[in-house]
Structures are given as structure tokens and as C-alpha cells.
């Protein structure tokens, strides 16, 4: 397969997996709600006061607790697993193709620097 075809397929697959397996999850619930007003635009002027009276800068506030993170990761893993199990099912593929249309105007993906830094050849073990 030509490199440009591999890139096109990987781009479309990454985007549709993001929609099907990440975006439409509990992440939407976590995203819902009020966003604090920031006159600086970066949140540096926003302070959260908790029930113990601690004043916490917005940049240091955890916006998701451990239980929410655990539930979110379980849901994403289950969706990725199901996606891979069903990818050869024609009915599932037809639905995926419809979802792909909503990603047409998304930015093109780029290689992640952390995953890209993993060596492509595993060194021999002694």
C-alpha cells in the first residue's frame, strides 16, 4: 500500500474512533456545565474555593475525580474493544462511514511525540 493511502486510512480511522469511542462517552457529561468567566482568557484570574475554605487557582483544580476517571477509561476501553470486534461487520461499517462525515472538517491528526518516541524495533533481551 502506498504511504499516502496508509496516511489517509489512518487519518479517517483515528477520527472516527475518536467520535465513536471517546467523544460520545461520559466525557460529554464531564464537559457539560458552567465554565468560569476569565477576563485574562487563560483562567489565571479564576480561583475556586472548596468546602474546607482552600482557595485553589483554576489551573491547579482537578476537574475529574478518580472514580470519574476510572469509569471514563472503562467506557473508552470497552468501546475500543467493541469497535475492533465489529469493524468487519457491514452494518457497523455503514454506521461508521456516516460518523466519519462529521469529522470531515476536523484538523488532520499528527503523530503523537510520546508514542512516536517508542523504538520501532525492540532490542534483543539478554
pLDDT in tens, 66-125: 999 999 999 999 999 999 999 999 999 999 999 888 898 999 999 999 999 999 886 666
**Given this model, what pLDDT does residue 123 score?**
64
pLDDT in tens, 1-51: 888 889 999 999 999 999 999 988 989 888 888 889 999 988 889 999 999
Q: Give the bridge partners for 47, in sequence order.
A: 57
**Given this model, what pLDDT does residue 59 score?**
87
The mean pLDDT value of the chain amounts to: 91
**CA-wise closest residue to 82 among 23, 20, 26, 27:** 20
For the chain, give the number of residues.
126
**Given this model, what pLDDT does residue 80 score?**
96
**Given this model, what pLDDT does residue 33 score?**
85
Query: What is the DSSP annotation of 73-123?
Result: HHHHHHHHHHHHHHTT-HHHHHHHHHHHHTTTTSPPP---HHHHTS-SSPP
pTM across the whole model: 0.78
**Given this model, what pLDDT does residue 94 score?**
93
Amino acid at each position: 500500500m502506498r504511504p499516502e493511502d496508509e496516511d489517509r486510512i489512518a487519518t479517517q480511522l483515528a477520527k472516527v474512533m475518536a467520535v465513536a469511542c471517546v467523544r460520545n462517552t461520559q466525557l460529554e457529561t464531564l464537559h457539560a456545565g458552567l465554565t468560569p468567566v476569565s477576563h485574562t482568557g487563560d483562567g489565571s484570574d479564576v480561583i475556586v474555593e472548596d468546602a474546607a475554605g482552600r482557595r485553589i487557582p483554576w489551573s491547579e483544580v482537578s476537574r475529574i475525580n478518580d472514580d470519574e476517571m476510572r469509569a471514563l477509561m472503562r467506557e473508552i476501553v470497552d468501546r475500543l474493544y467493541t469497535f475492533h470486534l465489529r469493524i468487519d461487520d457491514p452494518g457497523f461499517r455503514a454506521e461508521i462511514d456516516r460518523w466519519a462525515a462529521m469529522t470531515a472538517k476536523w484538523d488532520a491528526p499528527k503523530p503523537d511525540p510520546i508514542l512516536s518516541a517508542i523504538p520501532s524495533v525492540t532490542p534483543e533481551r539478554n
